[in-house]
Amino acid sequence: MLAFVAIALAVYGLVNFYIGRRGAQALASVPAARAIFLVLFIGLALLFPLGRILMSYARNGLTSILVELGTFHLAVMLYGFMAVLAVDLVRLINVFVRILPASPAGEGARSGPTVFAAVAGVVALTVAYGAWNATRLRTVELDLHVPAKAGAVDTLAVAVASDLHLGALVGPRRLEKVVDRMNGLEPDVVLFAGDIVDETVTEEIEAKLAEMGKRITEDYEGKDVLLVGVLRGAFMVMADLARHIDLPVEFDFMAVSSYGASTQTSGVVRILKDLDEEIAGRHVLIVEDIIDSGLTLSYLMKSLNVRKPASLEIATLLLKEGIQRVPIEVKYVGFPIGPEFVVGYGLDYAGKYRNLPYVGVMGAET
């Protein structure tokens, strides 16, 4: 890993050095333009590594913008490298075989800015075209015939989305567009092919819990907090959230019955394990993985409120929006989600999948 980073950085540095140096040479006769170019170019080149390094400490709007601009520079760098290399190759060949018109002495220095402008123009156009092209969704329809009969199925409409590359540049808005387009095709089967996400999805949860932990730290400043995790699902959220709470914190757990092996709420709540701590006069924060009907929590809130805590609030990673069967006030919500049954990150289906490091929608069982 370290060797890879070192090699990547070295290549990155060398390519940028080459482009920067050739650009500066071309602008040698116009010192002002040369200075502006160097400042801009070096600044842009530093953004990507800088954004990456900062992002490993904290993910926020600033680091996202840095990485976004930095990724943009990667494109500038790639096309810039090819263009500058092409110019240099032509000049090299020209040394042996005259292909450029002979120029009087001193002409080279004067043509520098012109060549620079041409190269910069080509690069800018290419990058702009690429950026525009990347936002354009194209639908290609293929009529495929498979010489086999599968049961009663005659035709099958398969919608395939390829190479989404969700990440720094391609966000939820683009994903929504893709999903809308795919749904519009009314497919029987949906496939996502190629590279779906750049980097990892777990960072989103991590960033959200960090943000939540920060709010909790601020809101409870000067107080002791008793975190109450609802077993079993909340164990992962509890562990990761607590790491971002900078307060004197104690832990306790309750276990309540879930839905058994079904994906539908039964509305029946049983306390399987009660708290070990007394909560009278204490600031209690219930930590949940997910709130669905809200029945579990509303029952828990009632039974805990009877014990007269100083305060009682809820923090949940996920909240299924608009389907609560009882009114419930949740102070800290990570992600509002749809009504689908989800698994992973502590959430189970029939006891399984809790270990997945991400949250995924449970598909039909096959």
Q: Does 233 bind Mg ion (CB under 5 A)?
A: yes
Kindly give, in sequence order, each residue whose CB lies less than 8 Å from that of residue 344, ignoring residues fewer than 6 positions away. 353, 354, 355, 356, 357, 358, 359, 360
* Residues binding ligand IMP: number (CB under 6 A): 19
Q: How far is the CB of 63 from Mg ion (least distance, A)?
A: 33
Segment interacting with Mg ion, rule: CB under 5 A, options 124-132, 157-165, 232-240, 308-316: 232-240
Segment interacting with ligand IMP, rule: CB under 6 A, options 26-34, 84-92, 189-197, 335-343: 335-343
For the record, the structure tokens of 362 come out as 């449970």
Which backbone phi and psi does 89 adopt, to 5 degrees? Answer: -65, -45
In the set 163, 180, 252, 292, the catalytic residue is 292
Q: CA triplet 11, 17, 23: central angle to 5 degrees? A: 140
Instruction: Out of 258, 301, 315, 333, point to the residue binding ligand IMP (CB under 6 A).
Output: 258
Instruction: Out of 12, 251, 341, 358, point to the residue binding ligand IMP (CB under 6 A).
Output: 341
Reply yes or no on whether 88 is catalytic. Answer: no
The answer to whether the beta carbons of residues 115 and 87 sit under 8 Å apart is: yes
Q: How far is the CB of 357 from Mg ion (least distance, A)?
A: 18
Count Cβ atoms below 10 Å from residue 85 Cβ, excluding itself. Answer: 14
The pairing of beta strand 271-273 with beta strand 249-256? antiparallel
Nearer to Mg ion, 76 or 318 (CB): 318
Contact partner at residue 226 from ligand IMP, Mg ion, none, CB < 5 to 8 Å by partner kind: none
Q: Does 293 bind ligand IMP (CB under 6 A)?
A: yes
Distance CA(17)–CA(9), nearest Å, equals: 12
Instruction: Out of 45, 245, 292, 313, point to the residue binding ligand IMP (CB under 6 A).
Output: 292
Q: Does 317 bind ligand IMP (CB under 6 A)?
A: no
* Amino acid occupying residue 336: P
Instruction: Out of 254, 291, 300, 315, point to the residue binding ligand IMP (CB under 6 A).
Output: 291
DSSP assignment string, 78-122: HHHHHHHHHHHHHHHHHHHS--SPP--TTHHHHHHHHHHHHHHHH
Contact partner at residue 342 from Mg ion, ligand IMP, none, CB < 5 to 8 Å by partner kind: ligand IMP
For 122, 128, 238, 289, the CA distances from 119, given in Å and listed in that order, are 5, 14, 54, 54
Q: Which of residues 294-313 bind ligand IMP (CB under 6 A)?
A: 294-297
Query: Which residues of the chain form contacts with ligand IMP (CB under 6 A)?
Result: 230, 233, 258, 265, 288-297, 341-343, 347-348
Catalytic residue numbers, as ranges: 292
Q: Which spans of this chain sit near Mg ion (rule: CB under 5 A)? A: 230, 233
